[in-house]
Amino acid sequence: MTKLPDLYEPDAQRAEDPWAGLRRHTSARIALGRTGVSLSTARNLEFQMAHAQARTAVHSPLDLDALEADLGQPLLRVASRAPDRAAYLQRPDWGRRLDTESVAKVEAARPASAPDVALVLADGLSSLATQQSAPGFLKAFQPLLEEAGLSVAPLVVATQGRVAIGDEIAAILGAKLVVMLIGERPGLSAADSLGLYLTWAPKVGRTDADRNCISNIRPGGQSYEDAAYRAAWLAREAFKLQLSGVGLKDRTVTVDAKAQVEG
């Protein structure tokens, strides 16, 4: 009698996982496999954990005292017009503008001489990203601004903030350029991604077309040092060309390649 192959005891060829090598290099949800027509229990539990982490990142408040301690420098604390997290999520427009009290606080902090750069932090849609990655990035970035001879306004942190709130803050401070650090919308493979938005001549009403963005700044993504180098390069070019956004192209890769060839 001919013995049928045992489907539950795969041979060496079937046991080899061709995706294993790729999975070591990414946190993306690839090659999940299946049990019958469904995900395996392990993959399903991983998905639920990722979803829970994303919800936590969105709803957890920013610990301002801990952030200030990690930064090692004082923070000017302001808030948007969104009174709470529920309002922030339902009314994005409220997160783009300062409340009345915060406007007065920023006006009072305006330096006697207009600064070149305003640095603004916000919780955004992932306070976890700002909490964990803003200190490391600024530690790498601020010395590069100093090397470029650019003066910096007092460091500001905005709660319940959207990207555009940085434009209003920088305009009140009189800064020529704003660099906004904000927690990005979490996905199911990264709940701690920090985004950077650089805008020349910031003012209320600027759009995304006026900004340059550097995304996925985090230990598992773009390193603080690489992001700081790119941001500093863009800042210098913005001052040289007096623009940002679609008119300012990130040529750091080209510049680095040319330097290596000439070197």
Task: List, for residues 105-160, the tens digit of each pLDDT value.
Answer: 999 999 999 999 999 999 999 999 999 999 999 999 999 999 999 999 999 999 99
**SS3 assignment for the chain:** CCCCCCCCCCCHHHHCCCCHHHHCCCCCCCCCCCECCECCHHHHHHHHHHHHHHHHHHHCCCCHHHHHHHHCCCCEEEEECCCCHHHHHHCHHHHHCECHHHHHHHHHCCCCCCCCEEEEEECCCCHHHHHHHHHHHHHHHHHHHHHCCCCECCCEEEECCCCCHHHHHHHHHCCCEEEEEEECCCCCCCCCCEEEEEEECCCCCCCHHHEEEEEEECCCCECHHHHHHHHHHHHHHHHHHCCCHHHCCCCHHHHHHHHHHHC
Structural domains in the chain, CATH included, are 59-262 (3.40.50.11240)
pTM here is: 0.82
Question: Taking residues 8-18, what's their average pLDDT?
Answer: 54
Given a cut of 90, whether residue 28 has pLDDT beyond it is no
Report residue 192's pLDDT band, with 50, 70 and 90 as the boundaries. Answer: confident
